[in-house]
């Protein structure tokens, strides 16, 4: 008796996908499927582990090295742990609906084992089959891929279970049968063609950041008069730009207002925190979020209201560095400020009363801005570069800078 061999059985991993071009599809996969199809990039860079790995894994590592940068000893690698913790918090529901991971971009290095006809006519939905041993490489989203491996290797460490991870669907796009050169080009395009968001602007969008939330509350608490109309100051705060343009209706950026909030809370120490997340557990010793908000919000709302004319005139007061320096001065009035440097509200008012807030080189050149050949001021020095000088000029009227900003 001779046993005949099957002729139409194709083995492998099946995924339901939708094509969006002739050589690429989109879809979702489970975490177990991800870790099965794509080896851990971290393990592939471990020389000892790789020596003991299967030939398929070694071949995958070699192919990966052609289109990806290293994880080891890079910021990319350092981000894996925090990314895994972020994903875990999202999966556990601790972040509500306000969390997301982008689709991972995979490269299928050869032809598919099989691609079905449309599952439902007219929808484009199909089933593709990936043969065992096929090399699938993450050409964008590799940090996320590594983070999923970390979670699946030891879910208990992140407060998760295998069952919870198995219920997760990971969005992906898959490019099929591209050359190494094309895969490299996609890597380049994804990492270079896009314009990176400035970190301080990105921070101003983070609603889990205490300083961002407080900046919004300060803006909401202020009312200003414009053309005989009372409007919320929040309408004059631009949350989407790094700088406010001349034709924009807003007069200040949210990141600049956030700088004022942070330096009010931390003083000079806030200059280095302007591009960092402010966690409630990292507030000054002896304070909590409720106490800080209860004091800072009305304090800064009153300050903005008192100087609303200067804000509406887009004076030097709207520059991030000037606001950061002002916040350092205001910090000295807070209950948690160093007692030896403490100021009363009346003292602060006197220090601010003589400051010339106009955008004029006579007052701000060399303090918070640089004057060009035409005399036009450039306030692009930034919070860290100029915030300290502005604070000194406000706090010490007798210094050269202090006299300059007061027109003396």
CA distance 253 to 318: 8
Q: Is 355 exposed, middle or buried (0-12, 13-18, 19+ CB in 10 A)?
A: buried
pLDDT band with cut points at 50, 70 and 90 for residue 199 = low
**pLDDT tens, residue by residue, 141-170:** 999 999 999 999 999 999 999 999 999 999
Average pLDDT over residues 206-220: 90
pLDDT band with cut points at 50, 70 and 90 for residue 404 = very high
pLDDT at 67: 84
pLDDT at 109: 87
pLDDT at 73: 64
Both tokens assigned to 194: 């896009």
Q: Is the pLDDT of residue 6 over 80?
A: no
**Torsion angle (degrees, nearest 10) of CA 282, 283, 286, 290:** -120
Residue % of the chain over a pLDDT of 90: 58
Q: Is the pLDDT of residue 128 over 80?
A: yes
Q: Is the pLDDT of residue 330 over 90?
A: yes
SS3 229: strand
**pLDDT tens, residue by residue, 26-76:** 999 999 999 999 988 888 887 788 888 788 888 888 888 888 877 776 777
CA distance 261 to 320: 11
Q: Return the bridge partners of 138, or none.
A: 106
User: What b/e readout covers 278-313, taking b as 16+ CB neighbours within 10 angstroms?
Assistant: beeeebbeeeeeeebbebbbebbbebbeebbebbee
Q: Is the pLDDT of residue 10 over 90?
A: no
pLDDT at 375: 66
Element (H, E) at 176: strand 169-176
What contacts 129, CB < 8 A, 6 or more positions away? 10, 11, 12, 13, 14, 112, 113, 114, 115
Element (H, E) at 299: helix 289-306
- DSSP letters for 308-321: HHHHHTT-GGGSHH
Segment among 138-147, 278-287, 321-330, 376-385 with least mean pLDDT: 376-385
CA distance 229 to 390: 33
pLDDT at 200: 59
DSSP letter for 406, please: T
Task: Label residue 314 left, alpha or beta by phi (over 0 means left) and psi (-120 to 50 means alpha).
Answer: left
Segment among 176-180, 367-371, 387-391 with least mean pLDDT: 367-371
Does the reported pTM lie above 0.85?
A: no
pLDDT at 191: 80
**pLDDT tens, residue by residue, 271-323:** 988 888 888 999 999 999 999 999 999 999 999 999 999 999 999 999 999 99
Q: Is the pLDDT of residue 8 over 80?
A: no
Average pLDDT, the chain: 89
Torsion sign over Cα 30, 100, 80, 183: positive
DSSP letter for 190, please: I
Q: For residue 172, which of 292, 26, 49 has the smallest C-alpha distance?
A: 26
CA distance 84 to 145: 10
Average pLDDT over residues 86-97: 94
pLDDT band with cut points at 50, 70 and 90 for residue 204 = low
What contacts 201, CB < 8 A, 6 or more positions away? 241, 242, 253, 255
Q: Is the pLDDT of residue 16 over 80?
A: yes
């Amino acid at each position: 008796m001779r046993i005949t061999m099957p002729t139409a059985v194709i083995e492998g991993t099946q995924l339901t996908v939708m094509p969006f071009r002739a050589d690429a599809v989109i879809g979702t996969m489970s975490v177990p499927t991800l870790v099965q199809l794509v080896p851990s990039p971290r393990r592939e860079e471990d020389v000892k582990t790789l020596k003991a790995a299967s030939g398929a894994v070694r071949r995958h590592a070699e192919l990966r090295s052609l289109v990806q940068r290293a994880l080891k000893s890079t910021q990319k690698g350092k981000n894996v742990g925090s990314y895994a913790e972020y994903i875990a918090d999202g999966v556990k529901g601790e972040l509500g609906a306000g969390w997301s991971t982008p689709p991972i971009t995979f490269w299928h290095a050869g032809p598919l084992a099989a691609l079905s006809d449309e599952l439902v006519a007219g929808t484009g939905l199909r089933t593709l089959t990936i043969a065992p041993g096929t090399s699938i490489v993450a050409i964008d989203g590799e940090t996320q891929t590594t983070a999923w491996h970390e979670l699946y290797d030891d879910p208990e460490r992140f407060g998760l279970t295998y069952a919870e991870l198995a219920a997760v669907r990971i969005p992906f796009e898959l490019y099929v049968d591209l050359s190494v050169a094309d895969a490299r080009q996609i890597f380049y395009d994804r990492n270079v063609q896009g314009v990176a968001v400035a970190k301080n602007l990105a921070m101003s969008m983070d609603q889990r950041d205490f300083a961002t939330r407080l900046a919004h509350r300060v803006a909401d608490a202020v009312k200003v008069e414009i053309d005989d109309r009372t409007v919320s100051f929040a309408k004059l705060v631009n949350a989407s730009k790094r700088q406010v343009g001349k034709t924009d209706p807003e007069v200040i950026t949210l990141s600049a207002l956030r700088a004022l909030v942070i330096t009010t809370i931390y003083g000079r120490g806030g200059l280095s925190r302007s591009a960092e997340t402010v966690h409630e557990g990292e507030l000054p010793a002896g304070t909590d979020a409720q106490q800080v908000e209860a004091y800072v919000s009305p304090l800064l709302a009153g300050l903005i209201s008192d100087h609303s004319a200067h804000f509406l005139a887009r004076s030097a007061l709207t520059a991030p560095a000037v606001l950061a320096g002002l916040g350092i001065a205001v910090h000295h009035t807070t209950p948690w400020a160093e007692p030896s440097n403490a100021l009363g509200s009346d003292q602060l008012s006197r220090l601010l009363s003589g400051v010339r807030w106009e955008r004029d080189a006579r007052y701000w050149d060399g303090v918070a801005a640089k004057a060009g050949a035409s005399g036009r001021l450039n306030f692009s020095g930034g919070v860290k570069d100029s915030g300290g000088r502005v604070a000194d000029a406000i706090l010490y009227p007798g210094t050269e800078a202090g006299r300059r900003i007061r027109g003396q």
